Chain A
């Protein structure tokens, strides 16, 4: 029983470094995986823009946006310049990806907007994983 408490304490200690940045970025990475699964599913299997896949995609996007804001707050409060830069880039990339995604979903269904969303996604993923691992090391 005590080992369970020890594991819990160790996990909390690890994830709460740098104003809880690892915890926020880990959660964002999980949402990024689910948004990727749903988005790629829609594109690869030619799924319509109604139904379970697009709902999962949009809900994940909302989660990512909220966590990007939390990450921005935590990053700016941390004592590392690199983390501050990474979290600003994370928030800007989320805004860019959401901008293209909303245009695409709003009726302008040209592939170039889906492409912009996809490129925004890869920058969000890069900054999220970067923030996660750098905060864990610090």
Chain B
């Protein structure tokens, strides 16, 4: 019975981390487009659309990562839990960096956001392949 439950939770980690990494891929695509094409402060409608897509995906990634953290906690596998913890902490750093960047357009915070993303993507991808 316990083994069945463990397998179900491990499968849950696999599904949630896959969704999380997929959303992060889309988030990265929208973020890179924003970085390469948008000019801050935003003046055009299409620039606002791209930025809004990025922010909406960031919120979805936040929810998915929180869910992933809970799933890794429930899995009772130490390595998976540490990966989930690293993922949620990295997402928190990236979100803080993004919000601080938008508050004053200081490029240092955009750099912080980029590195937070890197940590989160590595951790979520690690969760996928560790739970297969």
Q: A interface vs B, CB < 8 Å?
A: 29, 33, 36-37, 40-41, 43-45, 82, 111, 114-115, 118-119, 122, 125-126, 129-134, 136-137
Contact = CB atoms under 8 A, between A and B. Distances in A.
A125 B121 contact: yes
A133 B107 contact: no
B85 interface: no
A111 B129 contact: no
B122 A29 contact: yes
Contacts of A44: 35, 107, 110-111, 114
B111 A118 contact: no
Contacts of B21: 126
Contacts of A41: 111
- Report whether over half of chain A's contact residues are helix, strand or loop; otherwise say mixed: helix
A114 B122 CA distance: 22
Contacts of A45: 107, 111
A115 B36 contact: yes
Contact-residue bracket for chain B: 20 to 34
A133 B114 contact: no
Interface stretch (B24-32, B41-49, B61-69): B24-32
Contact of A126 (B36, B107, B115, B125): B125
B129 A129 contact: yes
Nearest to A130: B129
B25 A122 contact: yes
Nearest to A82: B132
Given A115-B36, A125-B125, 4 more contacts: A115-B32, A129-B125, A131-B129, A134-B129
A93 B37 CA distance: 23
A40 B132 contact: no
Contact of A130 (B28, B115, B128): B128
Contacts of B130: 133, 136-137
Given A44-B110, A133-B130, A119 B36 contact: no
Contacts of B111: 40-41, 44-45
Contacts of B125: 125-126, 129-130, 133
Nearest to A126: B125
A119 B32 contact: yes
B33 A133 contact: no
